[in-house]
Amino acid sequence: MSEVRVRQVGGPGPDFSGKWAMGARFVLYGLAIVLVLMTASLSSWQAGQFRHLLDFDAFYIVAQRVWLGDVAQVYYFDQFAKLQIDAIGRDINIFGYWTYPPQFTLLVAPLALLPVGASYFLFVAGTLGVYLLTLRAISKSCFALVVILLAPVLLLTLFGGQNGFLTGSLIGVTCLTMERKPIAAGLSLGMMVIKPHLAVAVGIYALLARRWMTVMTAMAVVLLSSILCTLLFGTSIWSAFLTSSHDSAVFLGSERFHFFRSISLYAIMRTAGFSASLAFLGQAAVAVVALSAVAFAIYRDFPARWSLGISAVATLMISPYAYDYDLPILGVGMALLLPDLTRLATGGERAAIYGLTFMSGFYGLFQILRLTIQDGKSIEQPALDGLLLVTLLWLILRVLLRGADEARRNSRDRAEAVG
């Protein structure tokens, strides 16, 4: 894929490396403080004491069942719910379904080898550290700006102990190595089998851009990891996984599902009162638009960095199951795009891009704080993030398309002048 030279379009752009550096340091200090406080809270917790259930608790419970040899039971609603109630002592905000593929079940198994507090710290601190290093390698001089815009996303992912830093790192490494280290890109893309719905657009990019080595390596990782899980857990693990996936899909279409932390258009339509069937149609339409944006970027011969950034943003818009703790992948897209967006966009467009990125995480963080104050009682709220992401993708395409067109016109004018 050829590189479109756009250095002259819109001038050199503002220098944010110094302007935002102090703010980024405060964000990172804040993350470190919250990480220590969360670890201390989990480490001091005693069985029988009441506390809110974290997403990390689900990972820890599943890890324990791996070593006890009965992990298949976590894929069944009643049994998994009972395990959570037994662990926390009450049934507030339990997670009804474990729908992760067996590969992720195997991945979390080592978590049970340590007490819950130490396990949380190593998992979250380790994946956060890798994620930040990946962002720094991608974002160049815009790293501080990216950190500030992602501050709510980083906090909400840390609060829950979720795997967003891990998936963000995998997508980030895939994008970082796609053009020059295809095998490394394929390894990280293949590892996204732990959350395959979040890798669709990046996988489509690899196919359309004919990155065959990356595609074949990713397929090999999926196949070999599936064989390994079958050998370790038995063939029954797959029927249990499929049963849980089916039951979860049925639950997603019910009136009992809470959508306010979902980032999909499906969630927006459901909270607006549309039926599940119409909401699924709307989600399918958005998925087609998102994948079309990836194809369009390749067709217009955008630089690989732009096309990969668009793919990272678009991949969050494919599945109705995407949540706010998956937004670290958005950070990868913005890290790829911001060095050029800050230069090509007008002042108003830059403000809109920054605001949409920040608000996409802030809404979820607000919901976490609300639930904490309300002691886990979930009162349905409208879902908003899906609309923010659609608007952000449209604005990104608008700025980049204008920049590419202007660059081509300038190049043509220079060639004519020389002629």
pLDDT tens, per residue, the chain with 419 residues: 444 444 434 444 444 456 678 888 999 999 999 999 999 988 886 655 666 778 898 999 999 999 999 999 999 988 888 888 877 766 566 676 889 999 999 999 999 999 999 999 999 999 999 999 999 999 988 899 999 999 999 999 998 899 999 999 999 999 999 999 999 999 999 999 999 999 999 999 999 999 999 999 999 999 999 999 999 999 999 999 999 888 887 777 666 666 778 888 988 888 888 888 899 999 999 999 999 999 999 999 999 999 999 999 999 999 988 889 999 999 999 999 999 999 899 999 999 999 999 999 888 888 777 776 665 555 567 778 889 999 999 999 999 999 887 766 655 545 455 55
> Does residue 97 sit within a domain?
yes
> Does residue 418 sit within a domain?
no
Instruction: State which amino acid sits at residue 248.
Output: S
Provide the number of structural domains found in the chain: 1
Alpha helices in 140-199 (DSSP H): 143-149, 151-160, 164-177, 182-191
The whole-angstrom separation of Cα 38 and Cα 40 is 5
> Does residue 308 sit within a domain?
yes
* Tokens 């802030």, residue located: 362
> Does residue 416 sit within a domain?
no
> Does residue 174 sit within a domain?
yes
* Tokens 């029954």, residue located: 236
The whole-angstrom separation of Cα 254 and Cα 274 is 12
List the one residue out of 123, 145, 127, 116 whose CA is nearest residue 45. 116
Instruction: State which amino acid sits at residue 360.
Output: S
The domain containing residue 211 runs over which residues?
Answer: 21-247+259-405
> Does residue 1 sit within a domain?
no
Q: Please list, in sequence order, all residues whose beta carbon lies within 8 angstroms of the beta carbon of residue 60, skipping any fewer than 6 positions away.
A: 108, 111, 112, 116, 119, 120
Q: Rounded to two decimals, what is the model's pTM?
A: 0.90
pLDDT at 408: 65
> CA angle, 243 as apex, 230 and 321 as ends, to 5°?
100
Instruction: State which amino acid sits at residue 75.
Output: Y
Instruction: State which amino acid sits at residue 36.
Output: V
> Does residue 299 sit within a domain?
yes
> Does residue 330 sit within a domain?
yes
Q: Please list, in sequence order, all residues whose beta carbon lies within 8 angstroms of the beta carbon of residue 167, skipping any fewer than 6 positions away.
A: 192, 194, 195, 198, 326, 328, 329
Instruction: State which amino acid sits at residue 372.
Output: T
List the one residue out of 222, 328, 30 whose CA is nearest residue 230. 222
**For 217, phi and psi rounded to 5 degrees?**
-65, -45
CA dist 374 → 215, 364, 367 (Å): 46, 15, 10
pLDDT at 50: 65
The whole-angstrom separation of Cα 148 and Cα 40 is 26
Neighbours of 25 (CB within 10 A): 12
